[in-house]
Amino acid sequence: MTDNSQKMNYHIGEAKGQAQIHYIEKANNMMDKASHAAQSAKESMQEAGQQIKAKAQSVADTVKDATGINK
């Protein structure tokens, strides 16, 4: 009886360990996806910022040209 009990406890522990590993791997995968999404959002925002900056500079140059400030 003790031998069977020890084997059962061993298998329960083994199953528990495998479940924990699976959970950790899944959590790591989700964190990786979140990190990639955040990086992508950051890059998109930087690109949008550069486009806005370029348009603002263009508008400023147009106003300077129209008012004669550039001359």
Taking only the tens place, the pLDDT of each residue in 6-48 is 999 999 999 999 999 999 999 999 999 999 999 999 999 999 9
Q: Give residue 8's pLDDT.
A: 92
Q: Give residue 71's pLDDT.
A: 64
The sign of the dihedral angle between the CA atoms of 33, 35, 32, 27 is negative
Q: Give residue 1's pLDDT.
A: 53
Q: Which helix (DSSP H) or strand (DSSP E) does residue 27 occupy?
A: helix 2-67
Q: Give residue 4's pLDDT.
A: 87
Question: Can you give the pTM of this predicted structure?
Answer: 0.61
CA distance 62 to 71: 12
Instruction: Taking residues 41-64, report their average pLDDT.
Output: 96
